[in-house]
Amino acid sequence: MNINDLINQFVEVKALKESLNEQIKECNEKLAAVEADIMEQMGNAGITQAASEKASCTMRQVTHPAITDWDAFYKHVASTGEFELLHKRLSSAAFKERWESGEAIPGTSSSTNWELSVRRK
């Protein structure tokens, strides 16, 4: 295949992917609605488990963390050393800004790779 054919193939496959992603979005919306209906009916019935011939469901409470005061949270992490409370990931934008201004950030490095940008006509 020549470069022209490859670019055209890329655009066709990307269009297919976008179509499939739209279908996935619609499926996720339907799943969320059915899940909400199941949970509502289970809650109304006062049950946490239910089953059909195809599947069984269990409803449980899950606790999700939320930060209400970032300054207090950061001070806590710094003073206790409980860094496991944080994700181990650099902010790409903040890193790039400092790196490009020549600021050294201990314990970090950067690497480069090529990325392809394709815009439809």
Residue 117: predicted pLDDT: 81
In the chain, the number of structural domains is 2
- Domain assignment of residue 21, given as a range: 3-58
pLDDT of residue 112: 86
**Is 118 a member of any domain?**
no
**Quick one: 44 and 90 in the same domain?**
no
Asked if residue 48 and residue 8 are part of one domain, the reply reads: yes
**In whole angstroms, what is the distance from residue 15 CA to residue 26 CA?**
17
> Residues near 58 by Cβ (< 8 Å), separated by ≥ 6?
48, 49
Give the C-alpha separation, 1 to 29, whole Å: 40
Question: What does the CA dihedral 59, 60, 64, 68 come to, rounded to 10 degrees?
Answer: 100
pLDDT in single tens digits along all 121 residues of the chain: 899 999 999 999 999 999 999 999 999 999 999 999 999 999 999 999 999 999 999 999 999 999 999 999 999 999 999 999 998 888 999 999 998 999 988 999 888 888 878 787 7
At 121 the pLDDT is: 79
Per-residue model confidence (pLDDT) at position 89: 87
Same-domain check for residues 14 and 53? yes
Query: Domain for residue 80, yes or no?
Result: yes
